[in-house]
Structure 1
Amino acid sequence: MAWKTFVLSEASNRLFEIVLALAVFISTVFSICLFTAPAQYDPYTDNSKQIKIYDEDPEEAKEEIRKRNEQGNFRSGRTIQVVVLGDIGRSPRMQYHALSIAKHRGRVYLIGYKESEIHPDILSNPRIHIVPLNQAPPFLRSSSKLLFPVVAPLKALWQARSLYLALSYRTPPARWMLVQNPPSIPTLAIAKIACFFRNTELVIDWHNFGYSILALKLGSNHPLVKVSAIYEKVCARLADSHITVTNAMGRVLKEEYRVAALPLHDRPAALFRPINSQERAQFLARLLDTSQYAQDLSPSAKNPWKLIVSSTSWTADEDFSILLDALSAYSAQATSRTQLPKLLAIITGKGPLKGHYLAKIQQLNQEKKLLNVIIRTAWLTPEDYAFLLAAADLGVSLHTSSSGVDLPMKVVDMFGAGLPVVGWGKFEAWPELVKEDVNGKGFESPEQLTEQLVELFGERKDALKIMKAGAVKESENRWDDEWDRVGKPLFKFNF
């Protein structure tokens, strides 16, 4: 009996020690969280007077203070974090959001990777502060499909830490957080956690669905794709508001995600505009990629060449082989049909598959399959890119839409420059942007694209003129008007 009492006493002491240790651990964690929790947004405090103290770079801190001193007409309570887990310079829509918010006297913290050139108006605006994210180590940026299941979780953890620090500690509390989706992992979860701690309202800007892009890499039946789809739906329901790039995407969010979204269609910035013949000639003579062909591209030339432009991110959702096949077929026809002009094709952009397609272009040249076509690749400043679109005769979009309900921003920019477009049109949202034979045409195969090039540059030049007029008319639709219709009431700038 004494032995049983001793055992029970020992068990009670052990249980007490475990409970005490657990209590101490929970108390310690709670205390750490309490003292290190990020500052909350207070609607009754003028956050414009808060000083940014989290950056380690003293020069950056001085620059921040200088900008604050120039913000005399900032509207209190209009601080917004604009977040893109990608290159800011290659995210024009999020840059346009930032400029629109600043235009309405809001203060913006633009958070993302600072890799390529950023819109000059962003850099010069005293109400916009760029918060660069730290890049993941090179070994976590591998594009290998074989290593993806191992590398992807590690990269996501790295990004989660970097993003959370930026959202919670490197910026003052904001009233709203506007987040680009995709990428959805880990962006949406981290954004929601930061919003919870900081008393911030989360707004998701749906450019596409993250799981649909992941499916391009892994296949639609892959477990990670299915988990990603569920994760995206859960995170969607945790957000406070939603905007989309198309009506079709809004329909999917309503029917499948059970959330209401406001469509805010992409529109070109003021940078993209039609130009006159004199501006065109001067630009073509100045640009390195076109200067040696400027005389051939002039309408006064004996047999004037045509300039086509395609902007690509060199990714899996843009099958660039479609254009290469079409250009090869066009070149073959132009050999026997002398009325067809030679083509100069300028391809702009950066991306993981660029090397692969450059090798294919080199092979086609070696096989003499591009005798009547010259292909050049370029990475241009925003100003030169806008001029190139305005100077071209035809734009080509290869965006195939992984979800079927998003739209390529590149086509919007082409219309802004008054450039007619032919593009992959085999997806639901295409008619929201392109009016067939009015400002552009859709194709569904390399053969159909070849037919369109032959038709527009040879047999039916009048059709190209009609599409040009339609594109110039479309250029009148501008971002500011669209944003004011949706953004102003959403972020309460009407009050």
Structure 2
Amino acid sequence: MPYLFQTNLKHRNKRRTISIFVMGDLCHSPRICYHALSFSSIDYNVNLCGYVESEPPYEIIDDINIDIIPIKVLKNKKNLPFIVFAGFKMFIQIIQIWKIMWKTRKEVDYVLIQNPPCIPILLIILIFKYTINNQLKIIIDWHNLNYTILNLRYQNLNNPFVVIVRKYEEILGKFANLNITVTKQMKKFLVEQFCFNKSKVVTLYDRPGKQFQPIAVTDRNYNHEVFTDMNDLPERKILVSSTSFTPDEDFNLLLNALKKYEADSETPPIYLIVTGKGPMKEEFLKTVDKLSFSSKVIISTSWLSSEDYPKILATADLGVSLHTSSSGIDLPMKIVDFFGSGIPVVSLNFPAISELVKDEVNGLVVKKSSSNELFRAIKSVFTNDELLRTLKDGALNESKSRWDENWARVLKPKFGNKQ
């Protein structure tokens, strides 16, 4: 099968190289890490560029084809106004990205960037392409839409900043040689709303990596510190959720649902593990304290390593996703991880969720985002053994679909092995 791109002739006798950028923590950017490993598997040199706030997965560190290039993390420690800090951050990122591109200019054939965020990186890569290396091929991996995430701040699609970011994505995105989307609905949006060339847009669903594996209840390992002082785990149902503690996930919804769960005499005791960190974590912890849960509902928060996270997921009975999607057309990676571990999920409803969660097959979709409905869904799973077994079977079946096979089927034919 022909390659998607014609490799630059001056590079014909060397291994092809791809630079992969994510303006986020590499350790918690699984899809980007999976891309890196997949390109390495077909004999590409990979420059993996991103924040190194925590240790990346061992398989990334140990892969001789992958070079990790750190990008400096900038935090608003002086509490500057949003616009001022955003401008300063953008300026510093422009310098960092340009330095990386210049240093690798003689070797790189492809650049893959994650969107969001695409500001300022997409513009920088395009300027570099048309001024320094016009043979460079650009790939955008669309996880969501930048302008809809910005709109969480303004709640007004006509806000000038939101309009500018939408036009930025719409206009500059057309220059990419390939656009990869996480859902079919996102592909449809890019073709119909942004008028992208349909032949340059392909859907690659998120699928779990091999580190996420189902285990039998009898094989669960409770030795991790997250289970310290939990002496009654066999009597408890374990509920897990992972989050970035951002505004697109309303954890008050879950906490209020658990207060109703706590008051219901028919429900078994529960242990909720919330993994992750983010700007709203402190607010979450304060709310937990304020609600004063009894011992029937125990809540723990933990920041897990990339090695520990799959192990903790595998111990759970049920996952919960509060992701509602700023655009309605992306899908949360956490549900993919849950399914990879054979865990059914309770998810809030939004337009694209049916591409992943099949209601009453591998999980439950809460049609109305209310604490009452979420409580009823969790209660129905934890008080109905037959329902839990059905959903568990559906999740186990979903766990059979893996990243490596999916990537090889969708993207490998477009890049191929070196001839």
Give the TM-score range, shorter chain.
over 0.9
CA distance in 2, matches of 1:171, 1:415: 40
Matched, 1:328 2:264: no
Q: How many angstroms apart in 1 are the aligned matches of 2:291 and 2:375? A: 16
**Is the helix fraction higher in 1 or 2?**
1
Conserved 8 A contact 2:272-2:297 = yes
- Indicate whether 1:291 and 2:228 are aligned: yes
Pair 1:450-2:375 in alignment: yes
Instruction: Work out whether 1:391 is the aligned partner of 2:318.
Output: no
Structure-2 separation of matches of 1:273 and 1:212: 33
Decide whether the 8 Å contact of 2:141 with 2:179 is kept in 1. Answer: yes
> What SS does the corresponding residue of 1:477 show, helix, strand or coil?
coil
Structure 2 counterparts to residues 37-436 of structure 1, below 5 A: 42-45=8-11, 76-136=14-74, 138-139=76-77, 142=79, 147-169=81-103, 172-196=106-130, 197-198=132-133, 199-220=135-156, 221-259=158-196, 260=198, 261-280=201-220, 283-284=221-222, 286-293=223-230, 295-298=231-234, 304-333=235-264, 337=265, 339-365=266-292, 369-425=293-349, 427-436=350-359
Contact 1:307–1:343 (Cα < 8 Å) also in 2: yes
Shift of 1:418: 0.1
Cα shift at 1:138: 4.1
Distance 1:182 1:344 in 2: 33
Mapped partners of 1:150, 1:218: distance in 2: 17
Deviating above 6 A after TM superposition, structure 1's stretches of 4 or more consecutive aligned residues are none
Q: CA deviation at 1:132?
A: 0.4
Q: Distance in 2 between matches of 1:44 and 1:91?
A: 33
> How far 1:291 moved relative to its partner?
3.5
* Whole-angstrom CA distance in 2 between matches of 1:98 and 1:296: 41
Q: Secondary structure at the match of 1:462?
A: helix
Q: Which structure carries more relative contact order (alpha carbon 8 Å, separation 6+)? A: 2
Letter paired with 1:454: K
Partners of 1:326 and 1:446 within 8 A in 2: yes
Q: Rate the CA distance shift 1:390–1:172 in 2: closer, same or farther, 3 A.
A: farther
SS at match of 2:9: coil
Superposed CA deviations along residues 214-245 of structure 1, whole A, max 9, x for unmatched, are: 00012223211111001110111111111100
Structure 1 residue 139 displacement after superposition: 4.2
Residue 463 of structure 1 is matched in structure 2 by: 387
Answer with 1 or 2: which has the greater Rg. 1
Q: In 1, distance between residues paired with 2:66 and 2:39?
A: 9
Equivalent pairs counted in the alignment come to 405
CA distance in 2, matches of 1:257, 1:451: 40
User: How much has 1:340 moved relative to structure 2?
Assistant: 1.7
Give, in angstroms, the shift of residue 172 of structure 1: 4.7
Offset, 1:428:
1.2
Report SS of the residue matched to 1:436. coil
For residues 467 and 187 of structure 1, what CA distance do their matches in structure 2 show?
41
Task: Return the offset for 1:171.
Answer: 6.3
Q: Distance in 1 between matches of 2:253 and 2:105?
A: 44
Pick from 403, 407, 411: which aligns with 1:487?
411
Residues 281-302 of structure 1 deviation map (CA, whole Å, 9 limit, x = unaligned): xx21x11111322x4222xxxx
- Work out the CA distance in 2 between the residues paired with 1:351 and 1:137: 12
Shift of 1:414: 0.4
**Structure 2 letter corresponding to 1:403:** S
> TM-score under structure 2 normalisation?
0.93
Q: CA deviation at 1:486?
A: 1.7
CA distance in 2, matches of 1:463, 1:385: 26
- Note the residue ranges of structure 1 that are not aligned, 5 or more in a row: 1-40, 48-75, 299-303
Aligned-residue sequence identity (percent) comes to 40
The one-letter amino acid of 2:219's match is E
Q: Aligned in 2, Cα 1:377/1:227: closer, same or farther, shift over 3 Å?
A: same
Q: Secondary structure at the match of 1:136?
A: coil
Q: Which amino acid aligns with 2:48?
A: L
Q: What secondary structure is seen at the aligned counterpart in 2 of 1:292?
A: coil
> Secondary structure of the residue that 2:22 maps to in structure 1?
strand
Q: Show the counterpart of 1:441.
A: 364
Amino acid paired to 2:233: L
Separation in 2 of the partners of 1:181 and 1:435? 27
Deviation at 1:107, TM superposition (A): 0.9
